[in-house]
Amino acid sequence: MERYADIVLPLFQPLYTFAVPDGAGLGEGDAVAVQFGAKAVYTGIVWRLHDRRPDVKRVKSVGRRLYDRPLLTPLQMRFWEWIADYYMCTLGEVMRMALPAMAKPRGGDEEEFMRDEFRPRTVGFVVAACTPDAETMARLERRAPKQYGLLRSLAERGELRRSECDAAALAALRRKGFVAVEEREADGPAVSDIDFVLPELTPAQTAAFESISEQFADRHTVLLRGVTGSGKTEIYMHLAARELVAGRDVLYLVPEIAMSSQLVSRVEEVFGERVFPYHSKLSDRRRTETYMRMGRSEGGSLVIGTRSALFLPFAHLGLVVVDEEHDSSYKQAEPAPRYHARDAAIMLSSLHRGHTLLGSATPSLESYAHASTGKFGLVSLTERYGGAQPPSIIVSDTLRAVKRGERHAHFNRVLLDKIGERLDCGEQVLLFQNRRGYSPYVSCTQCGWTARCPHCNVALTLHSGGRLVCHYCGHAEPMPRRCPSCRTAEVQPMGFGTEKVEQEIASLFPSARVVRLDRDAMPSESACNRIVGAFERGEYDIMVGTQIITKGFDFSRVTLVGVLNADNLLNAPDFRASERAFQTMMQFAGRGGRRDVRGEVVIQTSEPENPVLRWVVSGDYESMARSQLAERRTFFYPPYARLVVLTLRHGEAEVLRRAATELADLLRRRFSNRVFGPNTPPVDRVRNESIAEILLKIESGASMSRARELLRAALDSMMCRPEYRKLTVICNVDAS
């Protein structure tokens, strides 16, 4: 009987069927090389084996099997299927994102492909080759203390890792024949070597730990709501240790790795070589190695990483911790799959029959609502570790400051006074402004002309050095001196971004050392670590930054944090604006203060009466949640409805308008009044393509899979029409 394999390729394609030669010995989840098109060779994944010949003239055969074991476990295959189905994308798109670089599309012949196939990483161990006599040792001790030291530690410990030896001393000793280096495959420690030194929990932490353990008995997911600094990390580590000791894996998810270097070192201190960092900033090689090692491992590893770590081949995943579960970076926006890592984590750990712990000081309203209805367990931790006091928060009215002449540059007097006091005490200050660049836009004072991107419908941002930059497509041009429109007046920077704050604060406090942290200041993870490290060591007094500085950092010398313009947060054009503003400000407020010094927060705003600010001042999460949930219920937003946002793009505005109207009508026939739009998004042209949006609200409780089916059918009937050949439609399920 002939055998066939349905194969997933890392392309936007459905499954392809290939013939399987006799004796190929393939199994589901195996990686195979397949020829696709004239020359291209891809890694494909065997998804299904069967004996139904596809209805085509010639069926190509699969190439040889790659690796000595399947690339995907059966659980991973079910996870991929869930992602593809729920988030409405193809398995090929999941594959592109889920596997490290080795499995991405590549051209060239198979031989070239196989040459860089992964080989296990080896680690060099230094061992003694021959023991020098006492006289030689004495001479080394006098003349070459590093070589002497190396030999002494070798004598004590039997062997050393090459990485811990001084390279020059090692080279000299190898030349002299005293030591040798052995390469061994690095597969992590054996599961039995367990001697974690865990921080001792406080009574409040112990109670939370025990309550989580109890609730895990009959609930799959528990939400830990613990104020900033209450020691959630310590509780995670205790829970993780229990899983690791039992030989199960733990996944510790963080929103962004850039802010997590301090956390990673803390976790590594406790769990040592069992810790595997995994995120997109690692080299392809490191990612591939980690993937392969996890595939070979039988459990007992702790992966700490960003959302892509969900796709590693875990053996038995006992626990997933989703730290800062409310953070919006858990949702992948681009490209597909547009998955939410928190929701995917819950699915993944239930496939493994493990547990999920969501942690946050300010949980997402979705999670909070689930905890209130009992779908999730709930544990609260209300005191800070070491009895540190919650920060004192001052709301400073910007309009009043202007009226009274108490505003200098973009700072109200109160904030300036407090900065001065803190600097005098040798303490540090964080200043947050959620716009990068110098000014968000530039405008003519005479005729109102503003500089806009030629490819996108958006204003250009002024950066230091007089460059105007588009934050959507990267287009850059010099700032014009004179207004190109009326040719009479000068063009002025309007509003302010982090670069301007940096410049102003430096001139207001000339002796202060100021540093900026935003996407422009840290093109790479190492640049970020450098800035954070220098600030931590006290090489700077003030750090100015965007959203990034509100997260995760633990700076012990920071005692004052300032929000330069809360209005941006409060008025974001988004149904989550209030929730997000509250979360951001609470999280940022938690960055200041320590056990002996109470932290202070100054929030500048022109809306001091805004209820969100009242809740921030009193740290009243419950009132915020109650009020926002009531609003969401009235206007039918998550968690009371699921949102699917369809984004349509086309080069010609007219074709786009027609397509969007047609699709909305088509959808209305199936979903009636659950369809909203087509709408014009705030930025309706990017990279010379016009953009329209259609919003679908599906009431919770209704069948999402039925909704997705109807939606797919509607899209298919549109997309096959020749006039819409160049139309792009993106589905974003649970868009935020």
Site for Zn ion, rule CB under 5 A: 444, 446-447, 449, 453, 455-456, 470, 472-473, 475, 483, 485-486
Q: Is 311 a residue that touches ligand ADP (CB under 6 A)?
A: no
Encoded tokens for 567: 């209005």
Which region, judged by CB under 6 A, interacts with ligand ADP, from 83-91, 199-207, 527-535, 656-664?
199-207
With 0-12 / 13-18 / 19 or more C-beta atoms within 10 angstroms meaning exposed / middle / buried, residue 699 is: exposed
Q: Kindly tell me the burial class for residue 425, based on how many C-beta atoms sit within 10 Å of its own C-beta (0-12, 13-18, 19 or more).
A: exposed
**Contact flag: residue 100 with ligand ADP (CB under 6 A):** no
Binding mask 319-338 for ligand ADP (x = CB under 6 A): --------------------
Per the structure block, which two tokens stand in for 387?
Answer: 């009895």
* Cα–Cα distance, 45 to 9 (Å, whole number): 7
Restricting to residues 152-181, which ones interact with ligand ADP according to CB under 6 A? none
What is the residue-wise DSSP string for 215-261?
HHTT-SEEEEEE-TTS-HHHHHHHHHHHHHHTT-EEEEE-S-SGGGH
If one asks whether residue 232 binds ligand ADP (CB under 6 A), the answer comes out as yes
User: What residue has token string 């196989």?
Assistant: 114
Q: How far is the CB of 240 from ligand ADP (least distance, A)?
A: 13
Residue 215 binding target from Zn ion, ligand ADP, none, CB below 5 to 8 Å by type: none
Paired tokens of 8: 């997933």
How would you label 281-301 residue by residue, b for 16+ Cβ within 10 Å and e otherwise? ebeeebbbbbbbbbbebebbb
CA distances from 473 to 652, 691, 716, 723 (A): 18, 14, 30, 27
Minimum distance, C-beta of residue 308 to ligand ADP, in the bound complex (Å)? 23
Nearer to ligand ADP, 342 or 650 (CB): 342
Among ligand ADP, Zn ion, none, the one that 174 touches (CB under a kind-dependent 5 to 8 A) is none
424 phi and psi, to 5 degrees? -60, -30
Residue 205 touching ligand ADP (CB under 6 A):
yes
Q: Which helix (H) or strand (E) holds 6?
A: strand 3-8
447 is in the binding site of which of Zn ion, ligand ADP, none (Cβ under 5 to 8 A by kind)? Answer: Zn ion
Judged by beta carbon distances under 5 to 8 A according to partner kind, the member of ligand ADP, Zn ion, none in contact with residue 455 is Zn ion
Considering only residues 382 to 401 of the shown chain, the ones binding ligand ADP according to CB under 6 A are 385
- From the list ligand ADP, Zn ion, none, partner contacted by residue 444 (C-beta under 5 to 8 A by kind): Zn ion
Of 221-229, 279-287, 569-577, 681-689, which part binds ligand ADP (CB under 6 A)? 221-229
User: Toward Zn ion, which CB reaches closer, 293 or 685?
Assistant: 685
Q: Please pick, from the candidates 234, 243, 289, 343, the single residue that binds ligand ADP as defined by CB under 6 A.
A: 234
The region of 230-238, 244-252, 372-380, 469-477 touching ligand ADP under the rule CB under 6 A is 230-238
Quick check: 23 and 91 in contact, CB under 8 A?
A: no
Interface pick for ligand ADP out of 17, 233, 349, 398 (rule CB under 6 A): 233
Please report whether residue 202 would count as binding ligand ADP according to CB under 6 A: yes
Given a contact cutoff of 8 angstroms between Cβ atoms, the answer to whether 643 and 735 are in contact is yes
One-letter-per-residue 3-state SS of 467-522: EEECCCCCCEEECCCECCCCCCCEEEEECCCHHHHHHHHHHHCCCCCEEEECCCCC
CA atoms lying within 13 Å on the CB side of residue 697: 14
Q: How far apart are the first and last CA of the chain?
A: 50
**For ligand ADP, the closer CB: 199 or 608:** 199
Applying CB under 6 A, what is the total number of residues that bind ligand ADP? Answer: 15
Q: Which is closer to ligand ADP, CB of 388 or CB of 581? A: 388
- Residue 233's binding partner, choosing from ligand ADP, Zn ion, none, with beta-carbon cut-off 5 to 8 A by kind? ligand ADP
Please name the residue ranges forming H helices in 374-473: 398-403, 413-424
Closer Cβ to ligand ADP, 371 or 586, answer by number:
586
45 binds, among ligand ADP, Zn ion, none (CB under 5 to 8 A by kind): none
8 Å CB contact between 308 and 279 = yes
Q: What is the DSSP letter of 279?
A: -
Min separation Cβ 392 and ligand ADP, Å: 18
SS3 content of the chain, % helix, strand, coil (to 5): 40, 25, 40
Burial of 51 (0-12, 13-18, 19+ CB in 10 A): exposed
For 564-596, letters b (16+ CB in 10 Å) and e give bbbbbbbeeeebbbbbbbbbbbbbbbbbbbbee
Q: What's the closest the beta carbon of residue 447 comes to Zn ion, in angstroms?
A: 3
Helix (H) or strand (E) holding 178: none
Q: From residue 527 to residue 556, what is the string marking binding to ligand ADP with x (rule CB under 6 A)? A: ---------------------------x--
Q: What is the rounded distance in angstroms from the CA atom of residue 497 to the CA atom of residue 480?
A: 19
Residue written as tokens 């460059």?
467
Instruction: Supply the minimum distance, in Å, between the C-beta of residue 673 and ligand ADP.
Output: 44
Q: Compute the distance between CA of residue 391 and CA of residue 598 in angstroms, rounded to an integer.
A: 6
Q: Cβ closer to Zn ion: 627 or 647?
A: 647
Q: What does 472 interact with, of Zn ion, ligand ADP, none (CB < 5 to 8 A by kind)?
A: Zn ion
433 binds ligand ADP, rule: CB under 6 A: no
Q: Pick between residue 107 and residue 484 the one whose CB is nearest to Zn ion.
A: 484
Q: Does 44 bind ligand ADP (CB under 6 A)?
A: no
Residue 499 interacts, among ligand ADP, Zn ion, none and using kind-specific CB cut-offs from 5 to 8 Å, with: none
Please identify, using beta-carbon distances, which residue of 475 and 658 lies nearer to Zn ion.
475
CA-wise closest residue to 221 among 343, 77, 76, 330: 343
Q: Of the ranges 225-233, 340-348, 397-405, 725-733, which one interacts with ligand ADP (CB under 6 A)?
A: 225-233
Closer Cβ to Zn ion, 471 or 674, answer by number: 471
Between 232 and 342, whose beta carbon lies closer to ligand ADP?
Answer: 232
Give me the least distance between CB of 596 and ligand ADP, in Å please: 13
Residue 323 near residue 254, CB atoms below 8 Å? yes
Among residues 42, 100, 105, the alpha carbon closest in space to that of 289 is found at 100
- Tell me whether residue 335 or residue 474 sits nearer to Zn ion (CB atom): 474
162 versus 455: smaller Cβ distance to Zn ion: 455
Identify which of residues 234 and 734 has a Cβ nearer to ligand ADP in the complex.
234
State the binding partner of 584 from ligand ADP, Zn ion, none, CB within 5 to 8 A by kind: none
Contact residue for ligand ADP among 229, 305, 495, 593 (CB under 6 A): 229
Binding site for ligand ADP (CB under 6 A): 199-202, 205, 226, 228-234, 385, 554
